[in-house]
A = this chain, B = another copy of it.
Amino acid sequence: MTSLFDECTAVRPGAADGTFATELRDEFTIVNGHPNGGYLLAVMGRAAVAALGEEDRHVVGSTTSYIAPPSTGPATVVTEVRRRGRTASQLHVVLVQDDEPKVEGLMTLAALDDGPPAWGHVAPPEMPDEETCRAATRSHRSPITGGEPPMARVVAQAFDPATLGWASGAPGGGGEMRAWLRMADDRPFDPLGLLFAVDALPPATFEVAMTGWVPTLSLTAYIRARPAPGPLRVRFRVGTIATGRADETCEVWDGADRLVAQSTQLAALRMPPAP
C-alpha cells in the first residue's frame, strides 16, 4: 500500500527531458490554501533524485528560494544536472506553475550512511513523551488557523507543552518550538521525508510574537544520515530578528537519537509595535 506521503509527493516524467509532472495536493496545505514549504521541498527532491537516476543518491543539501506561493493543482518540476560527481552531484531544480517559476532550488545529491557521526554528536532536546505532547496539543486550538490545518491528516505534530503558548495566542517568548513528528499512517521517515520535516512546523517566530504569516525567503536544508525508525523529534528556533527578517534554525533527530537533518531559513516578518 502506498503511503499518503508518497502519493502526495509523486512525480512522473514530463514532456521534455528532465521535467516532471506533479499534482500539489490539498492534504499539504496550511493557511490560505498554499502548500507547506517542506512539502514542496520533498516534491522537488523526489524529482531531483529521479533526474539523476543513480541508485542510493539522496538529496543531502538543498537551498530553495521562494519566488511566489504556488497553489494546489498541477505543477511541473524542471531539473538540470549541473555536475555529476563521483561522490556528489549538483542539480538546479525549479517548481513551475502557470509557466512561472514559483520555487527555485540548488540541490546536492550523494550517498547517506546510517551509522553514528564521525565527530560532533548533538543530543536531542529534553521533552515530555509523545503521548503527553499529543494530549497538550489537542487541547489547544490555533488562533492562526482556527483549528487543525489539513496537513494534520497526513502528519501528526505533538508539541512540547512548554512551547505551545503561540497556539493559545500567548507566545512564550523563548522563540523555540519542540515537537514529535510522525506520519499519520505510520510510514517511516526516509531522506525525502526528512526534507519535509525540516520545514513542517509553524513559524518559530510565533513563540516570539503573533504576527501575520511569515513568508520564507530562502530555506537551506542538510540531510545528514538515513533515519532510524520511530517518530522524529524536531527543535525549531529563532536566532535574531532584525530589519524585518528572522533567521530560524531547525534540527531533527531520529528514533535512535541521531541528528539526521538540519535547516536554516530567512523569513520576512514585521514585528508588532511594542505595547
Residue positions of A touching B, CB distance < 8 A: 60-61, 63, 65, 67-68, 82-83, 87-88, 90, 92, 101, 104-106, 108, 110-113, 115-122, 175, 208-209, 217-218, 220, 222, 224-225, 238-247, 259, 262, 264, 266, 268, 271
Contacts and interface: CB of A to CB of B under 8 A. Distances in A.
19 contacts: A60-B245, A63-B63, A65-B82, A65-B90, A67-B83, A90-B104, A105-B106, A110-B245, A112-B243, A113-B242, A118-B271, A119-B208, A119-B209, A119-B240, A119-B271, A121-B240, A224-B243, A239-B262, A240-B259
Contacts of A209: 119
B122 A60 contact: no
A139 to B, nearest CB: 28
Given A61-B218, A67-B83, A224 B242 contact: yes
Nearest to A251: B239
Contact of A266 (B92, B113, B222, B225): B222
Contacts of A115: 242
A243 B266 contact: no
Contacts of A60: 243, 245, 266
A243 B225 contact: yes
Given A240-B120, A271-B119, A264 B220 contact: yes
- Quickly give the copy total for this chain: 2
A209 to B, nearest CB: 8
Contacts of A243: 60, 110-113, 224-225
A79 to B, nearest CB: 14
Contacts of A92: 104
Contacts of A111: 243
A244 B175 CA distance: 32
Contacts of A113: 242-243
Contacts of A271: 118-119
Contacts of A239: 120, 122, 262
Contacts of A83: 67-68
Contacts of A106: 63, 65, 104-106, 218
B108 A61 contact: no
Nearest to A119: B241
B117 A242 contact: yes
A220 B217 contact: no
B224 A65 contact: no
A246 B88 CA distance: 14
Contacts of A241: 117-120
A218 B220 contact: yes
B240 A224 contact: yes
B266 A108 contact: yes
